[in-house]
């Protein structure tokens, strides 16, 4: 294993280098510990936070924005989107309210208040 | 006419952070005017994550970042005039606004301009072709999709690789659209690296550099676009013309600070940033009028908008309370490799460490920035890379600044 990556954790966008040494992944180029974790995840089980919207059924033309409370496997993005698209929610909604439980290991939570 | 100490125009991230900073630093009579029915500005439609890592130490979506500041505004009881469009700011700080109740006139002691920016339009590009439906600015498409739940198209070409264009490429892909291409007329993307990775590469969307949209086809609805490469003078190379079938064209071709009120007030504007000329407290050429956020300079990170707005808020408090912020000032100047430096003037006797913000002219590898005044070096900083899309910050220590007599120049040197 020998890979160059651009860290996507923060806008700094560090250029990371990952090398396998004695069965362990060694990361360089990261400015913070989150970068190291990102590089290891990216080489073993790439993860992404997904954000989208869900319709508010009892308010006209109103959407509530949502996200996965933690990152989910990259390969499951479109399956997760399908589940998010299939639901609607009733106002009032508060930031952090769980809209869907356990979508590939993450709850889907509201990121906006709707009164 | 009503009177308030500090009047803030715009309730986006800049306006909210300025209001909170002004309140917390000793002026309680602060009001915000916003033309929308809710605070948050552009963050309301930015449902993606990545906000707040620097400023709040957590990764938030746009609406969540806005909610943090909305709560701060609410806790302090800061008065907000919603759906109130400011139509004039006079040099003697009378702010005129229009809302459902009629005309509102406020005599302010200090005014903070925080109106944000808007997108460059197709008209500004002179793209040839017909005028079919299906051509949107990326931000308009973002608002339609994220706030109103309206899907703008199914087969998409995006012109411009700024961050909004990249974010929308991913957003449309997630909703099932096919993004055929992102075209960038420059030899590099103006977007953040992380967005090229997580918005384009993740979804297999090609980014074509040195490429533009040469023609838009379709009569009622967009039916396709002709894309083509450009030469060093940005002229279209005929033999590279290629047709792409699509129903939607998104434009992400730059942002323009919304400075109509600023100009009408007679405030001096920089031709480079298209925002007001300011000192280190964000004070404009008219004493007591301050500017911050995207109306001052287009930012890439909201975290830095909040920081800048806090400086403006504190600057306005000092002005209202009659505190001395320094009386001797020198100009700053962009030297080799630097497109602009902000603030454009700096007080040398403020007694404070002072930050300079700048953008480079083009992408560079390893560089060193040097801040000089006459023969003296005031600050240096090295970076592994520098790009126009990423604002740089350099700090001049107070004791060095105190000795400055001449113009302050920032230059960039490439290192190997």
CATH classification at residue B81: 3.50.50.60
Among B114, B143, B117, smallest CA distance to B34 is for B114
Among B101, B39, B45, smallest CA distance to B74 is for B39
Q: Taken in order B53, A73, A54, B164, is the CA torsion positive or negative?
A: positive
Interface membership of B147 toward A (CB under 8 Å) = yes
Longest dimension (CA), chain A: 59
Predicted pLDDT at B221 = 96
State the Cα–Cα distance between residues B206 and A88, nearest whole angstrom: 33
Q: Is A85 a domain residue?
A: yes
- Where are the extended beta strands (E) located within B248-303? 248-251, 255-257, 289-291
Co-location of A56 and A92 in the same domain:
yes
Co-location of B1 and B74 in the same domain:
yes
State the Cα–Cα distance between residues B388 and B298, nearest whole angstrom: 12
Cis bond before residue A35 (omega within 30° of 0): no
Assign residue A67 the CATH number of its domain.
Answer: 3.10.530.10
Which residues, other chains included, contact B271 with Cβ-Cβ below 8 Å and sequence gap of 6+? none
**pLDDT band, very low/low/confident/very high, at A107 (cuts 50, 70, 90):** very high
Tell me the sheet residues that pair with A50. none
Contact B47 A53 (CB under 8 A): yes
Co-location of A59 and A16 in the same domain:
no
Which residue in B39, B197, B207, B304 has the most chain A C-beta atoms within 10 A of its own C-beta, making it the best mutation to test that interface? B197
3-state secondary structure (DSSP) of residue B122? helix
**pLDDT band, very low/low/confident/very high, at B330 (cuts 50, 70, 90):** very high
Co-location of B274 and B221 in the same domain:
no
Q: Which domain holds residue B236?
A: 121-253
Contact A65 B146 (CB under 8 A): yes
Co-location of A60 and A102 in the same domain:
yes
**pLDDT band, very low/low/confident/very high, at A9 (cuts 50, 70, 90):** confident
Predicted pLDDT at A23 = 84
Contact A81 B50 (CB under 8 A): no
Residue of B nearest to A51 (CA): B48
- Closest partner residue to B193 (CB to CB) among A6, A111, A112 is A6
Predicted pLDDT at B79 = 98
E strand or H helix that includes residue B312: helix B302-321
**pLDDT band, very low/low/confident/very high, at A87 (cuts 50, 70, 90):** very high
Co-location of B361 and B295 in the same domain:
no
Give ∠ CA B304-B76-B74 in degrees, rounded to 5: 80
Instruction: Quote the tokens at residue B77.
Output: 């009881």
Q: Is A115 a domain residue?
A: no
Q: Taken in order B318, B321, B323, B327, is the CA torsion positive or negative?
A: positive
Interface membership of A87 toward B (CB under 8 Å) = no
Q: How many domains does chain A have?
A: 2
Per the CB < 8 A criterion, the answer to whether B252 and B121 are in contact is: no
Q: Across residues B29-52, what is the average pLDDT?
A: 96
Give ∠ CA A27-A67-B251 in degrees, rounded to 5: 85
Co-location of B315 and B340 in the same domain:
no
Co-location of B28 and B96 in the same domain:
yes
Helix axes B302-321, B62-75, angle to 10 degrees: 20
Co-location of A30 and A75 in the same domain:
no
Residue A113's alpha-carbon distances to A85, B139, B226, in angstroms, are 19, 22, 43
Residue B197's alpha-carbon distances to A2, A7, A42, B169, in angstroms, are 18, 9, 12, 12
Co-location of B103 and B136 in the same domain:
no
Predicted pLDDT at B129 = 79
Which residue in B149, B166, B305 has the most chain A C-beta atoms within 10 A of its own C-beta, making it the best mutation to test that interface? B149
Interface membership of B50 toward A (CB under 8 Å) = yes
Interface membership of A81 toward B (CB under 8 Å) = yes
pLDDT of B288-321, one tens digit each?
999 999 999 999 899 999 999 999 999 999 999 9
Give the phi and the psi of residue B17 in degrees, each rounded to 5: -65, -35
Interface membership of B209 toward A (CB under 8 Å) = no
Co-location of A64 and A86 in the same domain:
yes
Which residues, other chains included, contact B318 with Cβ-Cβ below 8 Å and sequence gap of 6+? B281, B325
Assign residue B411 the CATH number of its domain.
Answer: 2.60.40
Predicted pLDDT at B390 = 87
State the Cα–Cα distance between residues B2 and B152, nearest whole angstrom: 44
Among B108, B95, B107, B117, smallest CA distance to B163 is for B117
Predicted pLDDT at A60 = 86
Q: Across residues B37-58, what is the average pLDDT?
A: 94
Instruction: Provide the percentage of residues in chain B whose pLDDT is more than 70.
Output: 100
Q: Sheet of A24-28: strands edge to edge?
A: A2-6, A15-21, A24-28
Co-location of A27 and A59 in the same domain:
no
Predicted pLDDT at B202 = 94
B27 pLDDT higher than 90: yes
Predicted pLDDT at B412 = 97
Q: Which domain holds residue A92?
A: 51-110
Predicted pLDDT at B238 = 96
- Residues in chain A with CB shorter than 8 Å from the CB of B56 are none
Q: How many domains does chain B have?
A: 3
**How many Å lie between the alpha carbon of B289 and the closest alpha carbon of chain A?**
31
State the Cα–Cα distance between residues A103 and A110, nearest whole angstrom: 14
Co-location of A55 and A105 in the same domain:
yes
Least confident of A33-42, B76-85, B274-283, B299-308: A33-42
Predicted pLDDT at B290 = 98
- Where are the extended beta strands (E) located within B48-148? 49-51, 60-61, 79-81, 85-89, 94-99, 102-113, 117-119, 135-137
A101 pLDDT higher than 90: yes
- Residues in chain A with CB shorter than 8 Å from the CB of B166 are none
Longest dimension (CA), chain B: 65
Interface membership of B52 toward A (CB under 8 Å) = no
Instruction: Quote the tokens at residue B100.
Output: 């459902």
A10 pLDDT higher than 80: no
Co-location of A40 and A71 in the same domain:
no
Q: What's the predicted TM-score (pTM) here?
A: 0.94
**Which residue do the tokens 């913070």 mark?**
A32
Contact A11 B174 (CB under 8 A): no
Q: Across residues B197-219, what is the average pLDDT?
A: 95
Contact A7 B48 (CB under 8 A): no
Q: Across residues B193-207, what is the average pLDDT?
A: 93
Which residues, other chains included, contact B154 with Cβ-Cβ below 8 Å and sequence gap of 6+? B176, B177, B178, B247, B248
Predicted pLDDT at B122 = 73
**How many Å lie between the alpha carbon of B225 and the closest alpha carbon of chain A?**
28
Tell me the sheet residues that pair with B232. none
Q: Across residues B21-44, what is the average pLDDT?
A: 97
Co-location of A104 and A67 in the same domain:
yes
């Amino acid at each position: 294993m020998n890979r160059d990556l651009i860290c996507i954790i923060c806008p700094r966008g560090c250029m990371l280098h990952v090398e396998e040494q004695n069965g362990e992944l060694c990361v360089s180029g990261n400015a913070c510990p989150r970068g190291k974790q990102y590089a290891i995840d990216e080489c073993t089980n790439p993860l992404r936070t997904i954000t989208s919207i869900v319709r508010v059924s009892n308010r006209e033309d109103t959407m509530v924005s949502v996200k996965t409370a933690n990152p989910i496997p990259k390969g499951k993005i479109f399956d997760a989107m399908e589940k998010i698209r299939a639901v609607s929610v009733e106002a009032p909604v508060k930031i952090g309210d769980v809209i869907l439980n356990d979508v590939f290991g993450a709850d889907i939570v509201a990121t906006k208040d709707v009164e | 006419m009503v009177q308030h100490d500090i009047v803030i125009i715009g309730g986006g991230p800049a306006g909210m952070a300025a209001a909170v900073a002004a309140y917390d630093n000793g002026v309680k009579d602060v009001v915000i005017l916003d033309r929308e029915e809710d605070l948050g500005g552009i963050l309301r439609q930015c449902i993606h994550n990545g906000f707040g890592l620097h400023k709040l130490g957590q990764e938030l979506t746009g609406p969540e970042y806005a909610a943090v500041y909305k709560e701060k505004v609410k806790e302090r009881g800061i008065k907000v005039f919603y759906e109130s469009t400011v139509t004039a700011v006079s040099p003697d700080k009378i702010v005129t606004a229009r809302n459902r109740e009629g005309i509102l006139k406020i005599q302010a002691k200090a005014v903070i301009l925080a109106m944000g920016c808007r997108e460059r339009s197709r008209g500004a590009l002179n793209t040839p072709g017909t005028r079919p439906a299906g051509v949107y600015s990326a931000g308009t498409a973002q608002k339609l999709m994220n706030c109103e739940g309206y899907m703008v198209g199914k087969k998409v070409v995006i012109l411009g690789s700024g961050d909004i264009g990249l974010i929308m490429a991913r957003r449309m892909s997630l909703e099932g659209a096919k993004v055929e291409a992102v075209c960038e007329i420059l030899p590099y993307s103006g977007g953040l690296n992380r967005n090229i990775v997580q918005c384009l590469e993740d979804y297999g969307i090609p980014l074509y550099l040195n490429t533009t949209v040469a023609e838009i086809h379709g009569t009622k609805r967009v039916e396709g676009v002709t894309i083509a490469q450009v030469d060093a003078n940005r002229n279209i190379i005929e033999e590279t013309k290629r047709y792409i079938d699509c129903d939607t064209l998104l434009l992400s071709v730059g942002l323009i600070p919304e400075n109509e009120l600023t100009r009408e007030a007679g405030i001096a504007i920089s031709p480079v940033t298209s925002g007001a000329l300011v000192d280190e407290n964000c004070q404009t050429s008219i004493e007591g009028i301050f500017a911050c956020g995207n109306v001052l300079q287009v930012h890439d990170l909201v975290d830095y908008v909040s920081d800048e707005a806090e400086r403006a808020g504190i600057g306005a408090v000092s002005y209202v309370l009659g505190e001395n912020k320094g009386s001797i000032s020198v100009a700053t100047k962009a030297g080799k490799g630097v497109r602009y430096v902000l603030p454009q003037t700096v007080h040398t006797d403020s007694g404070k460490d002072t930050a300079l913000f700048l953008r480079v002219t083009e992408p560079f590898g390893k560089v060193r920035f040097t801040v000089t005044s006459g023969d003296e070096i005031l600050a240096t900083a090295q970076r592994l890379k520098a790009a126009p899309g990423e604002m740089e910050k350099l700090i001049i220590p107070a004791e060095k600044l105190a000795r400055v007599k001449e113009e302050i120049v920032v230059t960039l040197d490439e290192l190997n």
